[in-house]
Each structure stands twice: as C-alpha cells, then as structure tokens.
Structure 1
Amino acid sequence: MLGSSWLREGMRVTTVVLGDLGRSPRMQYHAEALAAHEVDVDIVACAGSALHAELRGHPRITCHLLPPARERSLPRALLLPVAAGRAVLQALRLVWVFLVVLRKPDVILVQNPPAVPTLLVTIAAARLRGARLIIDWHNLAWAVLALGIGPRHPLVSLARWYERVLGRRADGHLAVSDALRAELAVRWGIAPVRVLRDRPAERFAPLPDEARRLLRRRLVERLGLAGLEPALVVSPTSWTRDEDFDLLLDAVRRCEALAAERAFPDVLVLLTGRGPRRARFEAQAATLPGRRLHVRTLWLEPDDYPRVLGAADLGLCLHRSASGLDLPMKIADMQGAGLPVCALDYGLCLDEALRHEDTGLRFADAAALARQWIDLLATFPRATEHLARLRSNVEKARGTTWRAGWEAEAREVLLPHA
C-alpha cells in the first residue's frame, strides 16, 4: 500500500494574505505545517516585518513579496479613494503573480479579510488553474470596513454582498471561532466550515527564572527605566482601529489616582508592535503622570516577542472586535507564555479564548481595568493570591500547540488525501 507522502508528491499550495506577512502569524504557521507534510508552498503577501525563524530559508517555502502598503492614518474623506486605488493596484499585481510568476497550485489558501481584491482574484485563479480554493476566515471584511467609514455607509452593504457571494464559491472553509462559523452557516449559507482555533506555537512558554530576570533588566534599561524593578504588563498590538487605546490611557490615569492612596509598585505597561496609530498614542502617553505606571512602546523582532511575553507578569488585550466574532491570536500567545490576560470584553465570543476569573479577567471600561491592576499587582514582586491563582490556571490549561491543533482541525480540509 502506498504511503500518504506519495499522495502529496509534487503537491503545491499557494497561500495569499494581502497584509504584512511578518504580522500574519497564522498564515506563516499554515505554511510551516504544510511544508512539514512535504508540500511545496508559495506565499503571496506584502513585505514588511521580519519572518519567523522557522520560515526563513525553509527549502519548501517560497515567499513572493509584494510592496508593503504605506502605513498612515488618513482622514475619513480620503479612506475610500486611497483604498480603491490600492485595491486596483493590488489586483493587477496578484493577477501578474498568478499568471506569470507562480507554478500551478493544487490548493489556494486565502486569508479573509481583506476581501478586496483577494476573493475575486483568487476565485478566478482557482477556476482558471484547476485548483481548490480554501478561505481562512479571520473576521468579516465588511465589519472591518464599517469601523472606518461607518456602518450605514452604502459601501458597507455592497461589501457585505460581495463577501457573501464570493465566499460561497470557495471549495472549503476554516474559521477562527465557533461564533464566526455559526454566522457563516446561518446568515450566509456557507457550510461546512471547520473551526481552526488559534493556539500558541511551541516557542511561547514561560522563561526560566534567571533568563527572566536578565531579560527584564535589559528591557527596563533599554526603555529608560534603569534602577527600577517594575511589574511588567505586556500588550501586543497592531495599532489598528479595532483596539481601544483611549481606554488604556484613561485606565492608566485612574490607576495612578488609586495607587496614590496606597502602597503600590512601579509598573511598566509595554505595548509592542507598530502601525499607523502608534505615533498618536505615543504623543498622548507622553502627557501621563508617570508616577507609578510607565507606559512605553517597543517593536520586537519575531524571535524576541515570545521571550518578552515569557518574562512578563500580566497580559493585556485591547482588541474591540469589529464583528464580535473574531478572536485575537495575541491571547493565545500570551497564555502560551503562561500569562493571565486582562481582556476588553466585546461579547460572548471571547469565552472561546478566555474564561473570566479562570485564565484571566475581562473588563468593560477603564475603571474596571484600573481596579484589576490594583488587585493583581499590589504586592509585587510577590504575587497576590488572585494573580497566583490565575497563573496556575493558565499553566494547567496550556496544552495543545498550534501544530497539533492544525493536524486535528485543518489538515483534512487542506490535504484531504493525506
């Protein structure tokens, strides 16, 4: 009997993500998992941030990088003209890549959002080249658009129609949450959809004590806080519209006021990543009191990011879902590193990633977040009973890694004969 490797001999998968590949960990993980099954992978994505070490130089993975989109905050009146021009240019580049550059794929795996122009171009490419098209639904693109131009704008209705009609024409579907799977099935008639949950890669783990101390010391010195030994709260962010930075600034001010009335340690609140809203936030953060809470921003290379999470005391998620149906991968990363997470509560979908008072806490406003910081960090460097219990629960819940989850939930969709 012939083995499964024979069934995949010469198999080729093209993955498409019209965003910064370095900030698209889920699509990088897809490529690594496929390559581990002896599949040749072409990645079509935008250049930008550095890639995971596992991806760089992999003999079965070829990256075809498009020019990066210029990151800038635009007035609402300019959002649509600029986006339309960008979409046309991206469509032309994608058509060129599929017709001229790439070898014939057996499967095309596309991330959604963005839906424009990727869904139209990849559906056409799949039909012309006899490939199966799989959509990995991270969110609903029309809901993300509504954040920028308002939910009542007529283009939002058009975008919803476009996404639904073209989404139905795919040959298979993955989704990040049960809530998103149900939405696609009930409202859009898209089924079956396999849920592939975000899970941490193996490199996300708590650091040993000595490595933790050394990394924290270097970090505070680099950020201009030499001489302090603060508690470390880390918030991974992409600096996009679906994250509530105003709430964070308000929470810092409120926590400073509460800390002035009691003994409270220094706290470093570190926001990682880069994006169009970072400069504005940094200007606002510079006006904070900075008595006990020190807010800093820092871009971390892919190999440093899991180590900083592994050295932290507490995670913070400011994601305010555009659709109420997606789950931020940063929560999985932080939990993989052993961190309880304080997460902005945007609805029932969040239950799939974080259980309140079990693996973290949820907050609805700045006052609640400030109180959580006071409660969890008051006795630093000794952990409060509350924080110790949450950390213990996170450690107990750590289990399935990304690769194991992919094998159980996605392999059958992408490699049906494996």
Structure 2
Amino acid sequence: MHPAIVVVLGDIGHSPRMCFHVMSLTAKGIPVQYVGYQESRPNDRLLNDPLVTIIPISPPSPFISNLPSIISLCFKLIWMCGTLISTLFFKTASSASLILVQNPPGVPTLWFGYFASKIKGATFVIDWHNYTSSIIQYNYDLNNDNKSLTYIQMILKFIAGCIASFEGYFGRRAKFNFCVSNSMRIDLKNKWNVKAITHYDRPPSWKFRCLTIEDKHQFFWKLCQHPDFASLISQKQEFDKSSTETTLFSYRDKDGVSRLRNDRPLLLISSTSWTKDEDFGILLDALRKFDTSPPPKRSSLMLPKIFVVITGKGPMKEQYLQTMNKIRWRYVTIVTPWLEAEDYPIMLGCADLGVSLHASTSGLDLPMKVVDMLGCRVPVLAKKFDAIGELVKPTNGKLFKSMEELCNLLVEMSGGFPESSKVLTDLKNQLLEEHPGSWEAQWDANFWPPIENLLMSKLHEKRRRERFSDDGYSEESD
C-alpha cells in the first residue's frame, strides 16, 4: 500500500494528536511519512516504529518574528511555501494513499496539501484543531469592535478575512474533515458549509493512567534527585520512627508498603504555554489570595498547603517567574520544572487537582492537557469558554471565569485535604467510576471507518485495473 503523508507545520514533538494519528495508521499496517518541524524529541513509540519516516522541515528563522507584523507574515509565508514545495513534492513518495493535514496552521499548508493529493493520487483529509484565521485575529487584537483599529490592523483584519475564506474553500474540497469538538463541527457547517466528523481527543491507553500509591511513591522518591524538586520534597527526618524513604508526600512503612502522608500538601498541576491566550496571571493571583487567607479562616476551613507544579515553556515564562520570586509565599510552593517526556504523564497521575487556563481563540477547540489530566483520573478546574462543557462536566471538574472564582474553587476543593476533602474526594471517585475511553477506541470508531472504506475501494480498483491489464497483455501475446 502507498504511504500516508501527515503534515504538521509545527513541532512534531508538541503535536500529540497528530502523533497519535500516525501511530494509529501504522497500527493498521499503513506506512506513514510524517512531515513537520523537529524541534523537540517525539515519543519513543513514534521514533521506534518501523513504519514511520520523519521528514523534518526547517522552521522560519527567529529573526523573521522580530520584523514588523505584516512584513513578518509575508516573509514567513514565503519561507513556508518554499519549504513545503521542496518537501511535499521532492522528499515524499511520488504516490500516496492519504494526505492528512493539520489546521492550524492552514496557510499555506492546506493549498499545498490539496495540490499534492491531486498529483500523488491521494485522499485529502483535514484535521481541524482550531482556525488559523481566529488565531491571527487574536494575536493582533482584531476582535475588539469597540476599539478603533490602526491602519496596520485594518490590513491584518483583511488578511484574516482572506485566510478564513481560504480555510473554508479547502475544507469543502477535502474528502474528509475531522474536528476536535461538536461545537466546531456545527460552526464549520454554518460558516463555510464544511461537513466534518467530530473526533474528540482521548488519552492513549499506553500513556495516561491512574497510578497506584506504590507508583506515586516511587516517582516522589525519584524526584528527590531532581534538581528542581530535591530541596523541596526530600525529607531528612522520617515520617515516624519505623518509616523509610520519606518524601514530602509519601513514605515506605516498616513492612515495605508505600503510603501517602496524612499531612502532605495538595499537589496541584497546570501546564501552560506562557502566552497571553493562557493568562497565567489568573492562577498566580488566585494562589496569592489563597496564600494570604487569614489564619482563623484557614483553621476553620482546614486549608492545606498547596504544592504547585507548572510545566511548559513559552515567551512570557521569565516575566512570570520574576513576579513569583518577589512574593513571600507562606502556604504555597511553586515549581516550574523541566520534565522528561516519560515523566510528564506520571507527574500528572500523582497530582490531586489540575488547572487549565486555556482560552480558545475561536471558543471551539478543547485543551488536550485536560484530556491528559482526566486520563489520569485527576479532577480539573478549567477556564470557561464556549466549547469546554463538552469536556469538563460536573462529574469530573468545575469551571471558572475569574481569579475570584478560581480562588473560591481552590478553597472549596482543598478544604480538609487530605483526610476530609469531600468535594475533591467525590469528584475523584466519580472519575474512577467513569471511563473516558481511549484514543485507540475513539479512532477506531470515528476516524478509521470512512478512511478504511475509501482505501479499500482504492485498493480493489487498483487490483481490478491490474487484472484487466494483465488479461489484455495475455490476449495480445496469444
């Protein structure tokens, strides 16, 4: 069978959904050529898959981003056009069964993906994660109707409108469109008459899971050697006279059984891109308010200390780190570690509570970090926007709009932790009873059936033509 070509105009290592698509295709025996930036190391499963060939492309020079906005966009477009032409038409297979393109970014990926599908005889498929046009509008502050736009912003708004038309045009020409939420499916139909199939993100069965106390203790003990954690969670004094391997969160008793400490802090985790569309200031201000709660209130509500782990990297990280370091925390500890890829899902599984600050530029995409948290059976506090209710429900988390609401939820969820935090415990128990479903099951149910039918019909047609061609040759030779 001809290979599938998967195209991401972004870092492969930070494109988990597309990586899961690739591994699901190879699980069906389809070889995949994976095109994208290789700025970080992808998952070992992907790297070790003999059916996967990664074809790296070079990202635009950082110098381009420092140019004025319109000039920067033009140079990036020229760079990406040249890169995609050389890669899709000269470095990938001459024939392909499928070309799967991620949007965003859709410019110029959608055009070249569609054109390449015609040349290579491939089925053109788009996986909609968000809209390129909505990101442009958000990044350049073009959505505020009450604000007068500068001349440059007016040009950018016109460009964003052209990009929206571009997205709709190629969406209608794709054989199949898949999207991350039902809200997006409806919007695609209403806005551009694009028919799409909702394909929710789900945690892969091999990566995110509920951890045992032994799993957690082993990881906490491992973190005692981690430079970002060692001084914070290592415990020189044993929890009691008979305990060994004591950490801030757990210990091993005299019988060798791992146990969680009943005086441990609540472990809260959040992952952020440190950009303005994920306003970390909301969490920081909520934690500061929690930290300054009067002692009588803390005592009456039995509020614990909170140990906060913030993962991710981005342009505003240093700015927020400087702000955090100026605060004299009493009941809150914040760590911003660099974790190895294999440690991230374990860190999630050890958490008591997750926080998502994701605010969709379109209001229609869903944060994959929340999917990961729920896969580890960790309750989530998520920032509210239009589509988030499709993922965060009363049985697995709560929503907030402001710093005040988030702080109130932190108080509500942590009160009495760890022995008598009823709200948090009830959510945790409901999550344990629910099964969110795995990526593999979701993919087999939603994505694979239409693709399989099309690929099989193509294969049967090819064999039929080959058979007729062979028969014709035999008749002439007779």
TM over 0.5: yes
1:72 Cα deviation (Å)? 9.6
CA distance, structure 1, for counterparts of residue 37 and residue 65 of structure 2: 20
1:21-54, Cα deviation, whole Å (9 max, x unpaired): 1111100000000001000100001111221121
1:96 aligned partner: 86
Letter in 2 for 1:337: C
Shift of 1:377: 1.6
Of the three residues 133, 138, 141, the one matched with 2:132 is: 141
Deviations 1:229-271 (A, max 9, x none): 4321111223344212121121111111226441332212111
2:89 paired with 1:53: no
Deviates more, 1:255-264 or 1:145-154: 255-264
Q: Indicate if the aligned counterparts of 2:35 and 2:57 stay in contact, CA closer than 8 A.
A: yes
The percent of aligned pairs where both chains have the same amino acid is: 31
Q: 2:407 matched to which residue of 1?
A: 370
- Partner of 1:198 in structure 2? 201
Aligned match of 1:225 in 204, 228, 232? 232
Deviation larger for 396-405 or 78-87: 78-87
> Greater RCO between the two (CA within 8 Å, min separation 6)?
1
Establish whether residue 352 from structure 1 lines up as the match of residue 380 from structure 2: no
Q: CA deviation at 1:214?
A: 3.1
Q: 1:83 to 1:384 in 2, by over 3 A?
A: same
How far the C-alpha of 1:398 sits from its partner, in A, is 2.1
Q: 1:41 to 1:240 in 2, by over 3 A?
A: farther
Shift of 1:390: 0.4
1:164 and 1:255, CA in 2 relative to 1: closer, same or farther beyond 3 A? same
The change in CA–CA distance for 1:325 and 1:373 in structure 2 (over 3 A counts) is same
1:163 counterpart SS class: helix
Q: Unaligned stretches of 5+ in structure 1? A: 1-9
Aligned to 1:397: 434
Residue 66 of structure 2 is aligned to residue 62 of structure 1: no
Change (3 A) 1:396 1:236: same
Match for residue 3 of structure 1? none
Contact 1:71 1:275 in 2 (8 A): no
**Distance apart, 1:73 and its partner CA:** 12
Partner of 1:385 in structure 2? 422
Distance 1:259 1:109, change over 3 A: farther
Q: Residues of 2 paired with 1:72 and 1:344: CA distance?
A: 34
**Amino acid in structure 1 at the alignment position of 2:323:** Q
Cα–Cα, structure 1 residues 299 and 312, in superposed 2: closer, same or farther, change >3 Å? same
Q: Deviations over 1:364-401 (max 9, x none)?
A: 11111111111212323325011010011112222410
Separation in 1 of the partners of 2:76 and 2:373?
A: 34
Distance 1:86 1:376, change over 3 A: same
Describe how 1:3-18 pairs up with structure 2 within 5 A.
10-18=1-9
Write out aligned runs for 1:286-305 (5 A).
286-305=325-344
1:124 CA displacement: 1.4
Within-5 A mapping of 1:15-414: 15-68=6-59, 78-103=68-93, 104-151=95-142, 153-191=157-195, 193-202=196-205, 203-219=207-223, 222-223=228-229, 224-226=231-233, 227=235, 228-229=248-249, 230-258=265-293, 260=295, 261-263=297-299, 264-347=303-386, 349-356=387-394, 358-382=395-419, 384-414=421-451
Quote how far apart the aligned CAs of 1:218 are.
4.1
Which is greater in Rg?
2
Q: SS of the counterpart of 1:331?
A: helix
Q: Could you tell me how far apart the structure 2 residues matched to 1:28 and 1:199 are?
A: 13
Secondary structure of residue in 2 paired with 1:298: coil
Classify 1:216/1:324 alpha carbon distance in 2 versus 1 (closer, same or farther; 3 Å). same
Query: TM-score, normalised on structure 2?
Result: 0.80
User: SS state of the match for residue 173, structure 1?
Assistant: strand
Q: Letter of the aligned partner of 2:173 in structure 1?
A: R
Q: Whole-Å Cα distance in 2 between the matches of residues 85 and 259 of structure 1?
A: 55
In the TM superposition, residue 208 of structure 1 has moved relative to its aligned partner by 1.2
- 1:217 Cα deviation (Å)? 4.5
Say what the alpha-carbon RMSD is for the aligned residues: 2.1
Quote the residue 1:4 is aligned against: none
Amino acid at match of 2:200: R
CA distance in 2 between counterparts of 1:43 and 1:195 reads 23
Distance 1:71 1:338, change over 3 A: farther
